Structure formats: C-alpha cells, structure tokens
Structure 1
C-alpha cells in the first residue's frame, strides 16, 4: 500500500505532529464541548478478561489492561518524584546558594547578594523513586509469602485470597517487573518454596476494575484495602502512608529522613510501616535486583506512554495485529533455534502480557517452541541491536512481511480501516476509498483532540458524525 512508503510516512507523521501541536494551544472549532464525549478506551475492549487456558495466546483485552497498567505505573512514578509531601518525608530540601557580586553604587563598588537556584534539587528528588522501590520490595516479599500461605491453607475462591491477589500498586509493580525475568522469578520461588505462587494467573480483570482511566490511578476496593491493613498489616496506598509518616514525629519519619545516610541507628518501634522502612534500609543491597527490574522497565513504560496506544482509535486492531505478530515471533524460535531474536515494541507488549501468568507462559511456549524461552531484560544494548537485526531479517524471510511497524495513531487507523475495507469487499460491499480516507482523518483528529483536552484539563469535545 502506498501509505507505507517512507516519503508518505514522513508526511503523515509531520502532519500528525502539527495537528497535535496546534490543538495544544487552540482547540479546533470542529466540535461542541461538554457532556457526550466518547468514552476512551471503549469499555467493550475489555470484554474478554475471563481466565484463559494455558494453551491460549494473550487476548486483546488482557493486552489492553496491560497498556492501562503501564499508564498507571508512569503516573505513579511522576507522582512520587514530584510529591512535595515525599520531599518532606525523605528530607529532600531546596539548597539555594547566596553569592556576592560587585555592583557600582555611583561612588564605589559594593557587594550585592544574589541567590542562586539549587540546580541539583531535581536530581535529588528523583532519588525518592529508588527509595520508594526499596520499600515496595520489602512489601512484595511480605505479600507473596502471604499469598503462598493462603493458597495452601484456604480454597482459592475465598475472599481473603482474592484480596491478596489484587495487591497494592507498589507491590503490583515489583511483581510485574519480576515476572518479566522468568528464570529469576522461578529461582526465587523455588528457593523460598513458593510452589503455588508460580501457578497464579495474573488478575487482569481485577486490575482493570481498580484503574481509573481518566486519571490513570489505581485504587483497591475498600474491602480489599481494609482486609490488607487490618489482617495482613499492609497499607493499601504506600504513597499516602509515607506522606503521612513524613508529617508526624516518630520513628518512621526519622528512618525516612535518614534513608540516604550510611549510618543508621536501629529502631525497635513495632509499627508495621516503621518496620518495613527499617527493613528496606537494612536490606537495600539484597533488594537491589528487584528495584533494578522496575528501573529497567521504566524505559519500556515511557515508550508505551509516548505512543498512548490505549487512547488510540485503532487500539483493538493494533493489539490484534500485535498478537498475531507475537505468535509468528515465537515460531521463529522453533524455525531458527540458534538465533538470538529481539521483539518489536508491540510484540514485546504481548510477550510481557503472556509472561505475567508464569505457569501458563512456561507451558505454552514449551509446547509451541519445543523449549522454554526466557525473557531477560538485563541484556546490553549492542546485543539487543544485533538480535533485533537478526529478527528483522528472519521475519521478513519467513513471512514476507515488514517486521518494524510504526504504531502511530494515523498508521494504525489506516491499517484497521483497510482491514475493514477488505472485509466489506468480501461481504459484497465496497465503500468509496475517498469516504474511507475522510473517515480515518476525522476519527484520528477527534481522538487526538480528545486526548489533548484531557491532558490539559479542558472540556472534552463531543463526537460529531458530520
């Protein structure tokens, strides 16, 4: 198709960029504003969140929830880094400098004081994220051992176990990143004798229900939060708990303020949060691999945030095509067993989604490929680049298709529209191509304006069929 030529793609991307830039400053006059805006993402996108068979590929709905979850992770990191309350809790303060400069007052030079901005303040604020993850790692250890305990002692359908299977956001983030390092997670579970945890299917439906897609925030149901706090001694919201601790005088505040210091005085306060913070400080090096797992995944999270696929008008088609490409990608491992292969961004999303249910992934891949395929995100850049080049060459050779795809809203909307056109032709209907192009342009423009309005907290545009 002509739209995939490099020159046409460049023109398409430039036009998309100019449209989005313009919308940031002046909303177009193509829409009315107020109630009645489209719900994005469409709720029907999440209709297929039932527990899947170990023999099944991830569904479109599961991949869509994964996109939602990554947006929530991105929002959490920004909130932690820019939180004034956590600045106080971790004793991160502005440190402006005063310098004196000569100034002629008409008779002589005098020393005039000038206050210089603290240029290192922004970097010090970023350290909160690492401290936050260190505390989250301790909570993850507590949480996963409770899951194993309740899995052994109680039936899987009891409310208590379901409350545990939907963890607090910080714990969910540690768990998610750990699952993406398959062999490391398996070794951890075997070492700690966590045999049942590995069999758990990721709770996609419950995660979706806990996410507010307008603000990209995650809130546990009240009964979950109450049970975790009262019985498991786990705060449902770590950001709120640390912020509150920073406002109070006491052991937790002292430990938080001393978190970055090398000398630490042991504290015997029995408060659960204080014990967790203390353990995080004492076991910082031990939990470093878990923290690094999340830190590395932040790169992937930022890439998916930049694409905003979950807000795309073509998200369903994008995920359907990504699942098909992932299936083909897995087959390459069988066809070319001695070649190191690296996925594209969309294929990697589906791969990550699959790995979140550890036992299902291990069973499926072993059956499909003939051996287990580990996912290791600690591989260096040069090796990744070489692996991507190999995958691109073998994918094109095997399937006769392009490996790298654009994923921008315009390209994906065009692909979905062309697929729909092919279906209509098979059904005996062939709408004019000019109508199709106009429809795609209108839809992409509306979704783009809707997203910009949401980001800038403006009134949302109402979809018009004109």
Structure 2
C-alpha cells in the first residue's frame, strides 16, 4: 500500500496521462496499442495521492499467500486416511475441509488468547516469538477481510486488540517467512506454540491430536469436553452439534451457546466510561462508517435492549453480573427464538436491521463477531479464481512487463474508491483484479481505516455476505456508473454486460480501436494494457461473497439466467454483423454466469441477516429479508429521490448503521 516499510517498493517509472506516450487520436486504425500508462497520481473524490495504497510487490505477496491457502486445502482434502482421526477418513473432501477449518479456528482462538498486549504487537521480536502456522494465518486473513467487524472487535475485546494492524500483518509475516513450502519454524517457536496452544505447530500434525473443545454449560456453568467429530454427527464441527450436560441435564446446542454469549455481553457494565473495554458493549453498535468508536450509540443501544419488556421486569439493576446473565437466559428459555421474541417487542429505537445485525454475531460461543469457518469458505471462490487465472503461480509476474496486469489492477482499484467516494449511498461490486487490490489494502487494517477516512470520507466496509441476486443487480449498476464516470467499460472479460450497446463495448478490446479509446478516454490508465485473455478475464465480477438466500427462489435465479442469455444472443448478432470482436465474444463462453453459484453450506449455517442478505438460518426462520422486499424498496427509494439508476442503488443494510 506504499505505507508499511517492510513491503513497500516504489512503482516502476511510468508516463502519466497526457504525457508524450499518450496515443494521438489520428493513429492508424490497425496500429498496435501503445504502452500501458501507469498514473503518477490517483484522484479519489476531491483528493489526490501520489503514493498508491498498494503496490505490485504487495499484490505478489498476497497472491503467494493465496497459493499457500489453496495448496493447504488440496492437501487436507487428499491426505492419506491413516493421518486422520477415526471417522473423519470416511467423510467426503468438502466436509473434511470444513472439519479442518473448525480446528484451525480453535487454534486461532488459542493463539490470540496468548498474544502479548497491544503495546507489544509492533516490536521487532514479535515475528520470531509469535509467528503463527499457515492454518491460523488462513483464519486471520479471512477475519481481516471483514474489516468493520475486525476493527470493532479490536476495540471491544482485549485479546483481539493484540493482533498486529500496521506491522507484522499477514503479508509482512509472509515476506519474512519466505517460501512457505520450505519454511521451518525455529525450535524455540515450535516449543512456545505447543506450550501455549497445546497443539503441534504443523497443522497436519494437529489434526490427529486436536479432537475436543471445552464448552461451558449455559445453565450450570459446568465445563464439558466435547468432540469436534462424532460418528453420529453431533460433534462441535458438525451441523447437528449437541451435548447433554451431565450435571443439570441441559441439551446444549450452538444456538444455546450463542444465547449465553449474548446474555453475558448484555449483563456486563455499560456506562460510557467503561464501554470500550472487554465485551462491555454489544457488537454491531460501536463502529459506523463515520465513527469507529461511537460510544454514545453503543451505550444507547445496550440500554435500549435492557429496557425490553421481557428484561425490564427482571430488575436486572439489582443483581450481580453473573445473576443478570443467568436471568436473561432463563427469560429467553435458553433459546434463540425466545430471545428474538423478547427483543422484537418494545425496542423500536434500536430498529429491526440493527437488531438483526447484532444477533448475527451470536451464533456460537467463540468471542469473534464473525463466524470464521464460514468466512474462510466464502473466500475460497476468490482463491480458486486467482489460481485458475494463473496469478498465484510464483513465476507468473516474474518480469516487469508481466506486472502490467497488477499495475492495471492498482489503477482500477483507486478508480473504484473514487467511484465510492462519489456516491455515499451506492453499493458497487468489484471485479477480480480490483478485489485483489482491495483485499491487499485491507490486510493493513490501521492504514486502510486511515486511507478510507482521508480519501473516501468514510470507512468502506467489505461485506463478506451478499445475496447473489443483490450482487447481480448491483454489478449492472456498477457497470453503468463506471462508464458514466470514466468513459470506459468496467468489465472486459467478454461476459454479457448491461446496456443496449453491449456489442460495441465488447469490441473495444480490439487492437484497432485501442488508440481511439485512449485518446477519447480521460482515464487511459483504466484501459487494459493489452488484449490479453488473462488480464481481461480478471475483470470478471468478483462473486466470492455471494450467498444463497432462502427467499431467492429458483424462479428468480432462472430469470437472471434468462436475462444474461438474452444479452449473449444480442452480442452474437453484433458479432455476425461485424460490430463486435468474435474472439472477445467467445471469451465470455469460458466464464460461468456471475452470481449464480452460492457458497455451499458444509457446516451449520449462521444467520447473517443484519447485512440485509443472508443464508438460511434454522435458528431464526423468517428473520431474513426477502429479495422481493429489497427490490421493491430499491425502486421506491429511487423513484422518490429521482436518482439515476445508472449511478446509485440504495444499500438496504446501511439503514440502521448510522444511527438508532
């Protein structure tokens, strides 16, 4: 990002827009396109920076990390059965990977709990003493890519605040580790890890001895040792987890553990002087785009929840913290449904969307606001696409010329931020190349927050869970807004795009029109550096965060599929009439229809309704916003405000974030 010294390398020399290298409008039609121009400055909103937020070296590091994650998954899914615990060897590769991720999250939680205080996280010795194994890096990486939750958890949970945010971040750790395939931790580090987490440093060795997790009974506080995997499917890492407390007889499930966590958080002191302390406020209430620590809002939200009729009658102010937590659980009947019933009555100042956002964090007993197994799974689509493009190959960007694709991605990412700065109420969808740069920027959490505030004017969240239909609609909006602002097509992958002139847009990739495009566009840095299939394929929409919504029926999905097919047929006619490039058109055949492949549910799904786009949650049936409701509300808002559909789409999950 040009800020952390460990990974910052100056970009190569280049000519800016308007330099002598820019192509003249009178260039011959068949003249090859000119050299790609990498901008000297980046305009974002009303501000300009001459230092890019990310550089090509950092993107290369990130791609190396993604390659390591991909290889780890392949290794686990194909490992010899003799290295697996009994029973795990009999499940399929996908379920085995999900089981492994539960172990990785357990190891991440243990590691975080042993880190030195935040004051020591930036020290030079931190790397040698605290470097985590690859599976823990994988979980940490997915956690950071939920930046609002990650930042807020760092404010309210002491152990999370100890995670590095400016130095010793995952990319800087990787730079020091070198080739992960040959990396060997020191004996000192392996011993320290083993003593603090009670597991081997090697993730594959840990699979054999990390078999149980301790849970606390919500009713009697008895500690119970529960297996991660059970032959009858009731292990902690399985969909149907349950265990019966031998002391009080309560049947414990994930949702009951989530209710217990909510009760503990609600029972803690919550006055303004103590609000930013370990768990003293409710997640989802402190961090908003314009204020990362809105203590007034957080205090008001907690006070409002405590005044819900079902809790107000308990006279909680007369009880100790432990007694309050117990009373809250009993009032809810230790059930998620009971808790929802209480919180849905008489607390209108909190708002339905904010309440859903809050409750989405209480799906298990772990301290994190993000369900991290699901977070890792949602990143797999992006990792696989980078791998299939060939970008994760260590030698792919070996030469300076090969880096053009990364320079192009960096330029497009800054333009993407400019687009967001131009419309605070819009929801824009990144392409694969932009998403790579965006993810890389987020991995430096403190600097990302500072850059967003200074240049975009607000904190830009990276929503990890978006309904596939919402993504599809928003991608159309993004294409139109990009073309309107920059005078150039957004995606160059050959897939069907919105608009009546799609054939003309696709044909812009041809070499004979490149010179004309460069001279007519105010942003030549956004023009693809060549008619390279790999570079153009990287402008396919990034759909790693697409999730299946129960209300998004197969009929709706079929309608979107038919709409895209109609666009393909229109493009084919343009090709036949000579108005579009056949090679570019055929390139689109290699891509699946965007946003039609939901994340598979390999584990018990958690409701994420707070963001307005959800996976089905059996614990809270009916709590998820319907897609038809979202569409109706989008149309109503756009009609009332008379905002151009080509520039803005109302993002429903922003409602309730800014205020109560």
TM over 0.5: same fold? yes
Deviations for 1:104-149, whole angstroms, at most 9, x for unmatched residues? xxxxxxxxxxxxxxxxx5xx332121121112112212222333x2
Q: Which runs of 5+ in 1 are unaligned?
A: 1-46, 95-120, 247-253, 268-278, 408-413, 423-436, 442-466
1:143 and 2:225 aligned: no
Rounded to whole Å, the distance in 2 between the matches of 1:265 and 1:163 is 42
| TM superposition score normalised by structure 1 | 0.59
TM-fit CA distance, 1:167? 1.6
- 2:198 and 2:118 map into 1 onto residues whose CA distance is 18
Aligned position for 1:400 = 487
How many corresponding residue pairs? 316
Give how far 1:155 is off.
Answer: 7.4
Match among 132, 138, 144 for residue 179 of structure 1: 144
The verdict on how the C-alpha distance between 1:73 and 1:315 changes in structure 2, with shifts beyond 3 A counting, is farther
Q: Between 397-406 and 351-360, report the one with greater CA deviation.
A: 397-406
Aligned position for 1:61: 57
Match in the other structure for 1:290 = 372
1:376 deviation in Å?
A: 0.6
- Tell me if structure 2 keeps the 8 A contact 1:71–1:305: yes
**Distance of 2:75 and 2:109 partners within structure 1:** 24
The correspondence of residues 414-429 of structure 1 with structure 2, limited to 5 A, is none
Asked whether the 8 Å contact 1:60–1:319 carries over to 2, the reply is: yes
Task: State the Cα deviation string for residues 170-202 of structure 1 (Å, max 9, x = none).
Answer: 111111111111111123222313445363332
Q: Which has the higher helix share?
A: 1
Maintained 8 Å contact 1:329/1:343: yes
Aligned to 1:18: none
1:166–1:207 contact (8 Å) kept in structure 2: no
C-alpha displacement of 1:62: 0.8
Give yes or no for contact 1:49–1:205 (8 Å, CA) kept in 2: yes
Summarize the Cα distance change of 1:381–1:231 in structure 2 as closer, same or farther, 3 Å threshold.
Answer: closer
* Pair 1:231–1:93, CA change in 2 (3 A): closer
Q: Detail structure 1 runs of 4+ shifted over 6 Å in the superposition.
A: none
Distance 1:62 1:238, change over 3 A: same
Residue 219 of structure 1, CA deviation = 4.7
Partner of 1:212: 179
* Cα deviation, residue 310, structure 1: 3.4
Report deviation, 1:298. 0.8
Aligned partner of 2:166 among 181, 187, 200: 200
Whether 1:189 aligns to 2:154 is yes
What residue number does 2:392 align with? 310
Structure 1, residues 154-173: CA drift from partner, whole Å, max 9, x if none? 473342x2235532111111
Relative to the length of structure 2, the TM-score reads 0.42
Q: Distance in 1 between matches of 2:145 and 2:382?
A: 12
Q: CA deviation at 1:257?
A: 5.2
Rate the CA distance shift 1:289–1:244 in 2: closer, same or farther, 3 A: closer
Counterpart CA distance in 2 for 1:48 and 1:158 is 12
Structure-2 change in CA distance of 1:61 and 1:134 (3 Å) = same
Q: Unpaired segments of 5 or more residues in structure 2?
A: 11-48, 212-225, 235-240, 247-256, 262-362, 495-509, 519-529, 534-660
1:157 paired residue among 123, 130, 137: 123
Q: Which has the higher relative contact order, 1 or 2, with Cα contacts under 8 A spaced 6 or more apart? A: 1
User: How has the CA–CA distance of structure 1 residues 355 and 155 changed in structure 2, closer, same or farther, with 3 Å as cutoff?
Assistant: closer
User: 2:402 & 2:187 partners in 1: Cα distance?
Assistant: 31
Alignment check: 8 A CA contact 2:8 2:55 kept: no
How big is each residue's C-alpha offset from its partner over 1:215-237, in whole Å with a ceiling of 9 and x where there is no partner?
x5765455533432345645321
SS of equivalent to 1:212: coil
Q: Is the CA contact (8 Å cut-off) linking 1:168 and 1:237 kept in structure 2?
A: yes
